[in-house]
Structure 1
Amino acid sequence: MTTPPATPPATPPDGGPQHRTLFSALSPGGERNLADTLRDERTGGMLLLAGALLALLWANLAPASYGAVSGTVVGPAALHLDLDVAHWASDFLLAIFFFVVGVELKREMVVGELRHVATAALPAAAAVGGMVVPAGVYLAVNTALPGGAPEGWAVPTATDIAFAVGVLAIVGRGVPVALRAFLLTLAVVDDLLAIVIIAVGYTDSVAVGLLAGSFACVAVFALALRHGVRTPVLLVPLALAAWALLHASGVHATIAGVLLGFAVPAAPGTALGRRARGDAPEPHEPGEDDHSLAEHYEHLWRPVSAGFAVPVFALFAAGVTVDASMIGATFAEPVGLGVLLGLVLGKPLGITAATWLVARFTRARLAPGLGWWDVVGVGLLAGIGFTVSLLVGVLAFGSGSVHDDQVVVAVLAASLLAAAGGGGVLAWRGRVHTRRGAPTPEVGTSR
């Protein structure tokens, strides 16, 4: 047997040696493909789930290591930013998530479903019902049983957009486009109300001067965008200053992300979209004017939020040491029981009842092709309260407290049950709609 001659190494055009790197930078096309993958709703949901599972494994297999890393303090004390890693995840990284939420809210209010009262009425009412009833269930449990903690009433009121829409994207291939729009609008209004609860219900004291300084930075940020300024050299320091001042004022710093998101112009305009993307002017084409700066920023920052900020938050928020005794204690105590019942039962009951009442006593109606089992499925799916519920639990009880651990276990269990229940109902409804020939959405596309 003869050994084939060795293939000479490839050489670049200049004749010099070529060196291969194991982890080289992605090409521009590879970067675009990665970003598009991270915008996919299923990918975001899976990364969030992966962060939570990794947190549970780390906290249970190496609790000392997990505690040491999450408790490591980083940042300048002079600026009140000497925070541990867990607080950086909840205060700073979630501000990126809330910035994307704020941009999405602004766009929905200007050009989306929320600009029309007729189309927004049912999902908005559903969102209100889906917050009031779970809060009532939690309060009923925590006032009736000994050892209750009514201050956690807001924990079961939130719906996790990434998880809920991700599950719908996976199982709801046959459901009508209108059902996805209903869930998105419901989740957007839910987020808006959750933001108000965080800002008002969990702020003990406020330094007015620092708060005013943060608002001033947001105002300058908004004026800069409206006057065509797009350079990160100015916009990023303004955003960081707004976040830092709000953090020091006593208001939860994630609200800065929402305010900055609201400051982004959402009106359609070709010039705004082109300047944001850095594209050269082109002749007008149909559909060009549908682009806006809000759409561009949402497209730009969603991969950062879904691919990094939210999974890292989950990594440091869901890490709780779980054993049989703790699980039993969680659902025997009013806090854990109230959160579980609020999300699994209160959410679908509140959403379905509020939607029925509005449809019964007003002119608002379900979109053509939708049935009440579709609404029930969305209500069950809305019981996935992961991200914001965990954040509210930390705000209500403090990180690492007994009640906080109970909140984590209850939210994880409730989200699993809600995903299974809602996913099962919507998968069944998808098959029903497919047999009827209902139009289906493009699954997995970014919002």
Structure 2
Amino acid sequence: MNAREYNFDGLVGPSHNYAGLSFGNVASFNNVRSASNPRQAALQGLAKMRELAARGYAQAVMPPQGRPNFRLLRRLGFSGTDADVLARAWREAPVILACAYSAAPMWTANAATVSPSADTLDGRVHFTAANLNNKLHRSEEYVQATRTLRAIFGNGDRFVVHDALPPVPAFGDEGAANHTRFAAGHGAAGVEFFVYGRVEFDPSAPAPKKYPARQTLEASQAIARLHGLDPARTVFASQNPDVIDQGVFHNDVIAVGNGNVLFYHEQAFADEAGTVDALRRALAGVEADLVPVRVAGSQVPVADAVASYLFNSQLLTRADGRMALVVPHECRENAAVSSYLNGMVGSGGPIEELVEFDLRQSMRNGGGPACLRLRVVLTEEEAAAMHGGVIMTETLYARLVAWVEKHYRDRIEPKDLADPQLAIECAAALEELTRILELPGLYDLS
């Protein structure tokens, strides 16, 4: 079956700011309350989308979510006009105001888990928006994420967009940041790989001691059931709790997969040998051979992997069947990582090419190239059935750049979140964006 992988990159919103809300995300915490540049952040993301589209990869845009989240603020007791709400929240609970202004939806790897039609029982593409209930600032993202996915993938004959799992600790779900698909080709039947950080109903299971484990086994199992996945082609594995405590808050900070290749750090999984063997056996069932690319701690310590986001890179299949690794510039600024990459490329392994991008604004907020994109495998018929206004083209790129330059500030400091004018600017920007992307009624900002 002919199919392509579409990367839906999150378009950075006009309120992009550094609030340091994500305990366990070292980069986010390191830049807490510093000044951000929303215009630069959005333009950096758009430049990446444009370049990858020009290289022949299927590229699309995931629109930002509405900010500030006035519904959250009013539910928490802040009342009056919008200006009153912002002023009181800034005065009495600035952290809650920062949560309402969170820039985190830009990382669409957390938006949902996606299973292509080649893997599902009913032959449709399945989506489940992540409930992200581990953090207040992310816990309401699923409302708009579900709304957006249903707007883009509204054809019920081809797509199913499930409601998010119950937003309780037992079903903590972080989306595709803890999910990878392996297959001989995008259109072939594949193996879906779920990585979890803890087990809710087994207190004896390993768990981190310092930072929270955000994904549960129970959530991963529920999504596999919802999507109608074949148990013989579904693998569950535990993260290494020790690396979670070193800042590996999602599996995509320590491992990335594509096709039949798993690029991973030796400390990624609680049972490295067992995990690799389970994937190898499952892939054999779909006539594919797993190609593990293992990075030893002696080559790249975990701290360097986290600082550079080496594994939070995109692994893409080129037209010639070889693979390209899309990395942030920070990988070249870290001596251990840069040395490893120099030795890897051209060594005869499956990764043939490095593609580097300046994503400094995203990196400072705790997300690299892989965080910015949601992978959606679509056949030609499915691609024709989705909303086409979000597909990246030169025309769309030019319109979005002009839109960013018109609406985005070049500096936001923490105190600016109390400015009613910023909220007005954000609403005006999103209203115009719905016309550009041809998605009327996308937002409910009441």
Q: Which has the higher contact order (CA 8 A, sep 6+)?
A: 1
* Larger radius of gyration between Structure 1 and Structure 2: 1
Q: Which interval holds the TM-score relative to the shorter structure?
A: under 0.3
**TM-score, reference length from structure 1:** 0.26
